[in-house]
Amino acid sequence: MKSLRMTFLLLSLSLTSLTSHADSDILKTRWADVKVDTVATGLNHPWGLAFLDDGQMLVSERAGNLRLIAADGTVGEPIGGLPEIKVRGQGGLFDIVLSPNFSQDKLVYFAYAEPESTGSDITSTAVARARLENNKLHDVTVIFSQQPKVMGGRHYGGRLAFSADGEFLFIGLGDHGHRQDDVQSLANHTGKLVRIHPDGTVPKSNPFVNQAGALPEIWSYGHRNIQGMAIQPETGQLWAVEHGPQGGDEVNIPQAGLNYGWPIITHGEQYGGGEVGIGFKKDGMEQPIWHWTPSIAVSGAAFYQGNQFVQWQGNLLATGLRGQQLARLEVNGSHIIHQETLNLKRRIREVKVAPDGSVYLLTDEPKGAILRLSAVK
Amino acid sequence: MKSLRMTFLLLSLSLTSLTSHADSDILKTRWADVKVDTVATGLNHPWGLAFLDDGQMLVSERAGNLRLIAADGTVGEPIGGLPEIKVRGQGGLFDIVLSPNFSQDKLVYFAYAEPESTGSDITSTAVARARLENNKLHDVTVIFSQQPKVMGGRHYGGRLAFSADGEFLFIGLGDHGHRQDDVQSLANHTGKLVRIHPDGTVPKSNPFVNQAGALPEIWSYGHRNIQGMAIQPETGQLWAVEHGPQGGDEVNIPQAGLNYGWPIITHGEQYGGGEVGIGFKKDGMEQPIWHWTPSIAVSGAAFYQGNQFVQWQGNLLATGLRGQQLARLEVNGSHIIHQETLNLKRRIREVKVAPDGSVYLLTDEPKGAILRLSAVK
């Protein structure tokens, strides 16, 4: 009898274990078995995510809403008080980041497709700042507006990142899809990486502040469509990922005043075939430190730090839309020395590392999800 | 009737076309459709290949023979006059390179497993120089012999490369498999990259010539098993590839006197699982500029230059045994910024770029082949 009871006990433990994993998939990876859990669902093309100190998440939906999500995944009502957002094509509400001093000032910063006037299809990417209180935005102030506004709904960029010291806000922009010819000119914000102070003023140390005819907000240029940005913890350097044309998705470490080559050089090619520009390389234009060819349609980027995946310390994580993946890139200083691909079989828009070291992903779907990656213990 | 004759004519052309490609496979790659032709067959684990000016190839077989292969693939009789070679395990005849002045001096250099005495299983990697005339080696001189010789038949290294100016000969060595503990010591040649003059004398500029207790031939150390080497054309720098343990196959640009970390640090792991050494990184030890994890069992390496694959200029080509591939690595200065894998479905030992810009591969098989990659026009 004693032996029989032991058997039942073991069986029961085994079933408990199975049940608790019922909603999880396991990815076998180099350094860890990764459990993939669904935290929340029903989000309309979620685009950006910020962790609050209290365990809540602030999530933007491209469809134009901002929502608080509880730690247990409960999706809050839309936050009120957003400005008019043009939701069309790739346009809508983009990234959301917290003020470095959020616990005191309650300020949030978000990027979005801003129409020229009410209802207009002439748009560009703007960044606004607002105070978040009682599920509503207060004192909404537009601190940056990409010049010029143009027809068309593609290649908005829209990613935001604060510098490590909180003094600067980087804004990743795009070429609008059909305005490639503007990208090499410093007289506009098309295809630029912009750096401003959090109040919208222009830093005196920006590279083109004293150059006649150049817009002073520009940090670097020659970008096609910056989709992900992250600060490398050990260096404080900004890293940015951008879409190439059917190949040539890039990782760059954008330096002040430098030219990243679009549309003159690229490792991609024209849709339908044929070379873009003059080829791969040109003096005075920077090479990416890594590229994906064919494209994965690279989207978000984050550096891993945390206790959940101890062997991923300092790795760059980058997500792919068409590539349906999380790319884990091992980094040595400013070089990528190895790639591992985690195949998630869903379009992934963004990646963030949670305070507990787990990794959160947003799926790019009309009923999109928040996924959580954790280590199988 | 006229119509019927046209049909026959077209059919006949179509068959001709098929016939001429009957022995070719086509690999679809990013920048070119690559035709794979078999140039020669029946070679016993071919290991090294050198192109002669007259269109012939000099090929070493690990089984202990050196042969001239005609441009049409006709395999010559074994070249006479080789020293005793220990063919056992991974041991045998390794790389073969021509003197930079071969057209005048007819000198060849080859690496091989050298027994301590006739028939002995105690071996190490030696390099000999000889004059090639009338399908026979003359004046065979051993110019380097790895110290110490040990039991065991693994991790010989055995790759050779002349510096761009022809002043120096680099010799890539291994750790014998079971002599990892010797690799961090400078008192032996185990797990070292060695640099000598072509006459076997030690260059005065070698990093350890004035260090008591260090062997003066050492260029760099901390290597596990160097299997491929090539000089980067635009910089004259030596690049080397080496096997890691179940992961952590490396690309390095070995610098004078530096420590490449084996067996203290690696991106691989113990066979059967578990970490090797202390992990990935350590002050005073160099990181690879690229690693394959899991391993491809990297073997040969060459830089592409030529007119056959114009968009591969400057790329590093590296072959895989277990990985059964040619890896095409795009290079920017000293960084690898992209990888494309050409899946060849055979163990590949070595890669060389022919004078006409086509790419030659050796398959690691008892009846091994020389394959030729050319662009489909």
Nearest residue to A94 (alpha-carbon basis) of A59, A127, A156, A47: A47
Which neighbouring-strand residues pair with B133?
Answer: B136
Using an 8 Å CB-CB cutoff, list residues of chain B that contact chain A. 30, 247, 267, 280, 287-294, 311, 330, 332, 335-340
Going along chain A from its start, the domains and CATH numbers come out as 2-375 (2.120.10.30)
Query: Are B288 and A30 within 8 A, CB to CB?
Result: no
What does the angle CA A318 – CA A319 – CA A320 come to, to the nearest 5 degrees?
Answer: 130
How many secondary structure helices (H) and strands (E) does chain A include? 2, 25
Encoded amino acid at B313, one letter: Q
Contact A43, A368 (CB under 8 A): yes
Q: Is B155 a known active-site residue?
A: yes
Query: Are A336 and B332 within 8 A, CB to CB?
Result: no
CA distance A1 to chain B (A): 40
CA distance A247 to chain B (A): 10
What is the arrangement of strands in the sheet containing A123-133, beginning at the earlier edge strand?
A93-98, A107-115, A123-133, A136-145
Chain A residue whose CA is closest to B280: A311
pLDDT of residue B5: 38
Q: What is the mean pLDDT of residues B264-292?
A: 81
Q: What is the mean pLDDT of residues A368-375?
A: 98
Residue B348, pLDDT > 90, answer yes
d(CA A97, CA A80): 17
Query: Are A332 and B287 within 8 A, CB to CB?
Result: yes
CA distance A267 to chain B (A): 10
The secondary structure of residue B180, as a DSSP letter, is G
Candidates A288, A311, A330; nearest CB to B337: A288
Q: Which of B45, B138, B155, B223 is catalytic?
A: B155
Q: Which of A45, A155, A176, A243 is catalytic?
A: A155
Using an 8 Å CB-CB cutoff, list residues of chain A that contact chain B. 30, 247, 267, 280, 287-294, 311, 330, 332, 335-340
pLDDT digits (tens, 9 = 90+) for A130-163: 999 999 999 999 999 999 999 989 999 999 999 9
Nearest residue to A359 (alpha-carbon basis) of A326, A329, A335, A314: A326
Residue A333, pLDDT > 50, answer yes
Residue B26, pLDDT > 90, answer yes
Residues of B in contact with A337 (CB under 8 A): 287-291, 336
Residue among B265, B292, B337, B339 with most chain A CBs within 10 A, to mutate: B337
User: Which element (helix H / strand E) includes A154?
Assistant: none
And the tokens for A47?
A: 């685009």
pLDDT of residue B273: 56
Candidates B247, B294, B338; nearest CB to A290: B338
pLDDT of residue B7: 34
pLDDT digits (tens, 9 = 90+) for B57-108: 999 999 999 999 999 999 999 999 999 999 999 999 999 999 999 999 999 9
d(CA A143, CA A169): 10
pLDDT digits (tens, 9 = 90+) for B198-227: 999 999 999 999 999 999 999 999 999 999
And the tokens for B111?
A: 């690496």
Q: A274: pLDDT confidence band, cut at 50, 70 and 90? A: low
* Rg of chain A taking only CA atoms, in angstroms: 21
d(CA B89, CA B311): 39
pLDDT of residue B15: 31
Candidates A287, A291, A335; nearest CB to B289: A335
What does the angle CA B37 – CA B42 – CA B46 come to, to the nearest 5 degrees?
Answer: 85
d(CA A112, CA A159): 10
How far is CA B158 from each of CA A66, A244, B113, B208, B233, rounded to the nearest angstrom? 62, 42, 8, 22, 22
The secondary structure of residue A23, as a DSSP letter, is T
Who contacts A237 (Cβ-Cβ below 8 Å, separation ≥6)?
A231, A253, A334
Q: B23: pLDDT confidence band, cut at 50, 70 and 90? A: low
C-alpha A54, offset from chain centre: 22
Who contacts B352 (Cβ-Cβ below 8 Å, separation ≥6)?
B49, B50, B51, B300, B302, B359, B360
d(CA B74, CA B68): 9
Average model confidence (pLDDT) across chain B: 92
pLDDT of residue A277: 63
